[in-house]
Amino acid sequence: MTRLQNKVCIVTGGAQGIGLATARKFAAEGAIVVLSDLRQSAVDEAVAGCAGLPGQVQGEVLDVTQRESVDRVVQKVMATHGRIDVLVNNAGITQDARLQKMSEAQFDNVIDVNLKGVFHCAQAVADVMVEQGSGVILNASSVVGIYGNFGQTNYAATKFGVIGFTKTWSRELGPKGVRVNAVAPGFIATPILSSMPEKVIEDLEHRVPLKRLGRPEEIANAYAFLASDEASYINGAVLEVSGGLTV
């Protein structure tokens, strides 16, 4: 199936985890994917791993916290392809601590990537998409952004904030033909979970009605659907993909 044939799609944080699975899925659906992440070596390795898929995957170094870095990539993509159809605001980090222990640096670092980074990237593509009269912006939220989580004051605030972005931008950009949605994953087996103790992960698995963690590909499938024309009437939504964790 090639639901994203020739669509120009930027994925941030694409070198591993959910971002890499999303870049691969989009390329499998025929997209022209701009796989972006912090380090050149990680980007190169990820792009090499996408060889043989029907679409094209090109790598770019991009730090979402740096507006010049975001603008440079957007300008390059426009110069090369002349359009941007999809932005997946996937890059995200955790720096956990209980409220009483959280440093200002931990707070600021997570806000900078997960919230300000999403703002930078969306703002950088918004004019292009409005001019085209079409486009899709997809934001990475989390069940933690809906229900909170012990030790994640900073992260929960950003993931709740991303829902605020999504609803606001869906109102602002919807009339211009641009859809904006969020995906709220449950607990997905990626490197971001490597800082969690094994016991906590086992407890999480027990809490999920499907009795397992999610796979990055299962989130990538949700992004691919929302990015495609099959989701043409979905705007301002937060799609939870959590194995039923929160029911």
The 3-state DSSP class for residue 131 equals helix
Q: Whose CA is closest to 135, among 240, 25, 4?
A: 4
* Tokens 């964790």 -> residue: 245
User: Which residue of 12, 152, 228, 235 would you call a contact of ligand NAD, by CB under 6 A?
Assistant: 12
For ligand NAD, the binding residues in 144-183 under the rule CB under 6 A are: none
Site string for ligand NAD, 56-95 (x = CB under 6 A): ------xxxx------------------------xxxx--
Q: Whose CA is closest to 84, among 19, 10, 138?
A: 10
Residues β-bridged to residue 86: 9, 136
The 3-state DSSP class for residue 101 equals coil
Interface with ligand NAD includes 192 (CB under 6 A)?
Answer: yes
User: Which residue of 23, 110, 142, 208 would you call a contact of ligand NAD, by CB under 6 A?
Assistant: 142
Secondary structure letter of residue 11 according to DSSP = E
Interface with ligand NAD includes 140 (CB under 6 A)?
Answer: yes
Interface with ligand NAD includes 17 (CB under 6 A)?
Answer: yes
Helix (H) or strand (E) holding 63: none
CB 118 within 8 A of CB 159: no
In the complex, minimum distance from the CB of residue 16 to ligand NAD, in angstroms, rounded to a whole number: 4
* 155 catalytic residue (yes or no): yes
Tokens in use for 211?
A: 């009795």
Based on CB atoms, which residue is closest to ligand NAD, 91 or 178? 91
Binding site for ligand NAD (CB under 6 A): 12-13, 15-19, 37-38, 62-65, 90-93, 113, 117, 140, 142, 185, 187-188, 190-193
